[in-house]
Amino acid sequence: MNLRRLKAVFRKELRHVVRDWRSLTMALAVPLLLLLLFGYALTLDVDRIPTVIHDRDGTAQSRELAERFRGSKFFAVTGVRAGYREVERELNRGKALLAVVIPRGYARAMAAGEMARVQVLVDGGDSNTASIAAGYADGLVMAYSMELRNEWMERRGAGELKPPADLRARVLFNNAMQSKNFIVPGLIAVILMLIAAMLTSLTIAREWENGTMEQLLATPLRPQELLLGKLGAYFVLGVADTVIALVAGVGVFGVPMRGSYLLLAGTSALFLFGALCWGIFISTVARTQLLAYQAALISSFLPAFLLSGFVFAIENMPWVVQQVTRIVPARYFVTILQGIFLKGVGLEALWAPAAFLLLYAAVVFTVASRKLRQKVA
């Protein structure tokens, strides 16, 4: 391998990237745009649930329960409705996700030490959000009922009623329990996979379409030199995207960075190199830019978004799909990013996904080199 020829290809491809302002703008602006869009718009937090209350009891105790819902950060009470029809209308129109119905006799049952029933109606269109909202409502009602029961027993000299178990939860790594701390690191993997594969997937195909590949074949360039030279230019661009994503994630969204920057740089370089090689492989197989673009979108962005654990938990997927995720490199990079950002762990805990990225980069580079050699020959 001749270092001089390698540098010449690198400079040529880097100049092409700089002169093509559309591709350059897309490569640098899209990561920031995706981070801002997903970081602010995409959230897995279930709070401020639109709630309506139907108080049929009209007592001080029922109004106090309604105030508990108003004072909770998980519920946004939009109003008190006078009847079931109004409650159903709010749920049907989508203006309310949850409705609390306090029946007649609620205060009387509580005062007598009997079981007081409260009805909660939940819009189950989004089953995950509905189950979480119902759990929040159940916990709030049970806590308030326990307070009233203790007051009732103290007035009768029976002492305070203590629960049979005392659960004290301690949240590790993501103390604020904000979904952005989980989403933003994973989004870095999706962005790098998208940008790297999409840009490099067009480079060889563009040479064939423009008729410049014949000129390259007339030079003494070797396939590895052509491959590494083209990869080098886009690797620089990928490093810039990584820095942009890191600055935006830590500086704009306040995602904690507890791990090693050196480990982050090394694993990011491995993942980026593998993604670039995959794009080159696609570009070598597909001789048209349109076909290469479509193949890169299907084989890089969609698996990284859907099968990496970035948004959807892999543990909840069907068994067959879980096995498919084992060959998605973004899955392992998402694990590494979350471990570095949130947990602050080192290579002793992340060596397995890092080893997969190394193996993936080596295999894809070898396959892309052989395919390019066949095309050149």
Which residues make up the CATH 3.40.1710.10 domain(s) of the chain? 49-155
Of 377 and 52, more confident: 52
According to the model, what pLDDT value does residue 124 have?
Answer: 83
* Pairwise CA distance, residues 348 & 120, whole Å: 48
Q: Please give the structure tokens belonging to residue 164.
A: 């049979």
According to the model, what pLDDT value does residue 213 have?
Answer: 63
Residues 252, 338 contacting (CB under 8 angstroms):
no
According to the model, what pLDDT value does residue 60 have?
Answer: 84
Full-model pTM: 0.78
According to the model, what pLDDT value does residue 332 have?
Answer: 93
Superfamily of domain 49-155: abc type-2 transporter like domain (3.40.1710.10)
Residue whose token pair is 């759990």: 135
Residue whose token pair is 């819902």: 69
Task: Say which residues have a Cβ less than 8 Å from residue 347's Cβ, sequence separation at least 6.
Answer: 263, 354
Residues 121, 85 contacting (CB under 8 angstroms):
no
Under the banding of pLDDT at 50, 70 and 90, the label for residue 211 is low
Does 212 have pLDDT greater than 70?
Answer: no
Q: Please give the structure tokens belonging to residue 243.
A: 């820095």
Closest C-alpha among 60, 64, 71, 69 to residue 98: 69
Residue whose token pair is 């480990």: 263
DSSP assigned state of 369:
H
Single-letter residue type at 241? D
Does 374 have pLDDT greater than 90?
Answer: no
According to the model, what pLDDT value does residue 166 have?
Answer: 61
Does 8 have pLDDT greater than 60?
Answer: yes
Q: Please give the structure tokens belonging to residue 90.
A: 């709010």
According to the model, what pLDDT value does residue 351 have?
Answer: 93
According to the model, what pLDDT value does residue 164 have?
Answer: 59
Region 54-82: mean pLDDT is 85
DSSP assigned state of 112:
T
Closest C-alpha among 57, 95, 60, 101 to residue 78: 95
pLDDT in tens, 121-156: 888 877 778 888 888 888 888 888 777 777 766 666
Which residues on adjacent β-strands are paired with residue 375? none
Residue whose token pair is 């423009």: 210
